[in-house]
């Protein structure tokens, strides 16, 4: 995963690198600016980091149109090969880190609700899905992220990319909740009902901005429940 772009400048050239964690930190060369284009170094690195955060290539294209063709080609090739869009991996302050990779709960109960409430109250990102263990019993696997990801006001309320192997049946968000239950219990109620019908369910949180620009303005923290037209998948445990 690319965490940021940086540059090392010398009197005759400026080399632009990507800081990659896979899993250890490494530097990968992106492109090199010659002596006549050193003044564009800071602008290019800033545009690359902006693109990494919001995937808006307009600002990046403005800079790429001012650099030599070889630099533009090398940069575009690197982004295409090494920097595919990854929904829900960045905030305005940088990359999202996984705080807890996997926490398992057998049931949707008070213990799980309390756990989610605590994570939600301190602003951690939440991702949760139902799975079947080796004996066929349903478990809920929960992942905690270092922050919630923002989406623009008019964007689809989702920061967890939809799976290619299943069709989306319905999406519920905590904006639609009714009655006196809060967002956590509301999301759990929807998830529990769908899971009882044998459906694959995923829950995640996001920050829905009140503007159409990522990471700007105020926003509301929301729970999103995706129900798929697919059976509950088997548990995938890393060795």
pLDDT given for residue 239 in this prediction: 40
pLDDT, block means (10 residues), the chain with 239 residues: 88 92 84 94 91 79 94 93 72 77 93 95 94 93 90 85 92 80 92 96 91 67 95 76
Beta-carbon contacts of 18 under 8 Å, excluding residues fewer than 6 positions away, are: 2, 4, 5, 27, 28, 30, 78, 82, 83
pLDDT given for residue 217 in this prediction: 53
Tell me the sheet residues that pair with 17: 6, 29
Residues in the chain: 239
pLDDT tens by residue, 160-183: 989 989 999 999 999 876 667 889
pLDDT tens by residue, 13-27: 999 999 987 667 889
What's the predicted TM-score (pTM) here?
Answer: 0.69
Measure the CA–CA gap between 34 and 14, rounded to whole angstroms.
Answer: 7
> Would you state the structure tokens that stand for residue 59, as one six-digit string?
């600002």
């Amino acid at each position: 995963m690319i965490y940021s772009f940086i540059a090392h400048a010398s009197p005759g050239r400026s080399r632009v690198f990507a800081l990659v964690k896979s899993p250890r930190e490494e530097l990968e060369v992106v492109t090199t600016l010659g002596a006549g284009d050193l003044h564009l170094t800071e602008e290019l690195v800033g545009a690359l980091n902006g693109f990494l955060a919001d995937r808006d290539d307009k600002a990046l294209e403005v800079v790429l149109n001012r650099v030599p063709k070889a630099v533009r080609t090398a940069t575009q090739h690197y982004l295409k090969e090494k920097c595919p869009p990854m929904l829900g991996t960045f905030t305005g302050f940088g990359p999202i880190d996984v705080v807890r990779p996997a926490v398992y709960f057998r049931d949707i109960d008070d213990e799980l609700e309390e756990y989610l409430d605590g994570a939600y109250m301190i602003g951690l990102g939440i991702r949760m899905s139902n799975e079947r263990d080796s004996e066929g019993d349903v478990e809920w696997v929960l992942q905690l992220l270092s922050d919630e990801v923002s989406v623009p006001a008019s964007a689809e309320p989702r920061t967890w990319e939809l799976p290619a192997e299943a069709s989306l049946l319905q999406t519920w968000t905590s904006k639609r909740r009714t009655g006196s239950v809060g967002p956590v219990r509301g999301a759990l109620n929807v998830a529990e009902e769908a899971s009882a019908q044998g459906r694959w369910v995923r829950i995640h949180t996001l920050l829905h901005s009140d503007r159409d620009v990522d990471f700007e303005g105020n926003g509301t923290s929301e729970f999103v429940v995706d129900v798929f037209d697919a059976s509950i998948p088997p548990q995938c445990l890393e060795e």
